[in-house]
Each structure stands twice: as C-alpha cells, then as structure tokens.
Amino acid sequence: MAELATVARPYAEALFRVAQSGDMAGWSNLVNELGNIGANADVQGFARNPNVKPTDVADAFASMIKSPVTAEAKNFIAMLIENGRIALLPEIAAQFAVLKNAQEGAADAHVTSAFDMSSEQVAQLVASLEKKFGRKLNPTVTVDPSLIGGVRVVVGDEVLDTSVRAKLQQMNVALAS
C-alpha cells in the first residue's frame, strides 16, 4: 500500500498545482470522480486488457466522466493509461483531497452514527467537533446500527469514539483485568 502512495504522490501534487492555477472546485470534483471510476475492478481490468488500445480506454474513461473535462485532464488520463497507472487513481484522489484540505485548513471527518441523523444534528455535531479539532471539517456520515448508540468520529488519524459499543468494550476490558 505504501508503494501505491509513493507512486501516486507526484501525480496528486502535479494535479494540485494545476488546480491551484485554475478552478480548484472543478478539479476537485473531477479528481474525486476519476478516483471512483478508477476504483472499479471492471474498469481496471478493461484498462489492463492487452487487446484494447489505449485510445479506446481513454475514450471509455471520457464517456464515464460527468464533470467537464479539460485538455489538461484528457492528457493526464491518457498519460496514466499509457503508463499502466489507472490503479493509482483512487490513491491520487485521496492525496489530492489531503492537499486541498491542507490548503483550506480543513480535514475530512468520517462520522459513523448508530441511527440516522438529521441535517440539524449533523450541523450541531460538526460545529462542536470543529471547536474540538480547531479546523473546518468536511463531514461524511454513515449509519452503523452495531454501535448501539452514540457516534464514532475519525478525523485524519484521530478517533473520537463515544459509541455504546466502545463503552461496553472498555467495561469488558476493565472487568477482565
């Protein structure tokens, strides 16, 4: 996994430099979309197929992308295809997001809740988490009923687990020792 990150880093940094000189939001959407497309096993298999021409792979990619594609983006996709680097797209997208967040002084927050949360509840939670972490957060909320109650928040390498499941596990450890 570290090898993918090492190989993907220069690509992500190059895209980020291009995005800084243009439309950051547009590039961010495009790179995120490319990451999702590149993560698909069928797409990766198609791109690795020796019987398919690189131009056909590039055309297939272009047909899957919903965001506006600039000439720079087309060149980037073609270069990745020619070099057999389509599998790097998810990692490139992740590193691009980290660079973008660092520039904005923000971070991605993965919130897992035991129950569905209303937009008001998410906004209140994010406001308090932003105070705790001292930066703007971009939340992604998922539901996991196995938490029983509460939430689990992951921001970068920090984890804040206030779920009932985590408290029960802590009690189990305390009682077992």
Q: Which domain holds residue 18?
A: 2-101
Q: What is the pLDDT of residue 157?
A: 86
Cα 15 to the center of its chain, rounded Å: 15
Task: Locate 74 and state its tokens.
Answer: 């087309």
Supply the pTM of this predicted model: 0.77
Report phi then psi at 67, rounded to 5: -70, 155
Q: Are 30 and 75 found together in one domain?
A: yes
Question: Has residue 1 got a pLDDT over 80?
Answer: no
Question: Has residue 162 got a pLDDT over 60?
Answer: yes
Q: Residue 139: name the closest of 116, 157, 156, 122 by CA.
A: 122
Question: Has residue 62 got a pLDDT over 70?
Answer: yes
Question: Has residue 63 got a pLDDT over 80?
Answer: yes
Q: What proportion of the chain, given as a percentage, has pLDDT over 90?
A: 85
pLDDT tens-digit map of 91-136: 999 999 999 999 999 999 999 999 999 999 999 999 999 999 999 9
Q: Are 115 and 160 found together in one domain?
A: yes
CA 2/CA 8 separation, integer angstroms: 10
3-state secondary structure of 19: helix
Q: Are 91 and 164 found together in one domain?
A: no
CA 160/CA 162 separation, integer angstroms: 6
Q: How confident is the model at residue 159 (pLDDT cuts 50, 70, 90)?
A: very high
- Which CATH number do you get for residue 17? 1.10.520.20
What's the number of CA atoms in the CB half-sphere (13 Å) around residue 143? 5
Q: Are 112 and 137 found together in one domain?
A: yes
- Which CATH number do you get for residue 170? 3.40.30
Q: Are 20 and 66 found together in one domain?
A: yes
Q: What is the pLDDT of residue 96?
A: 96
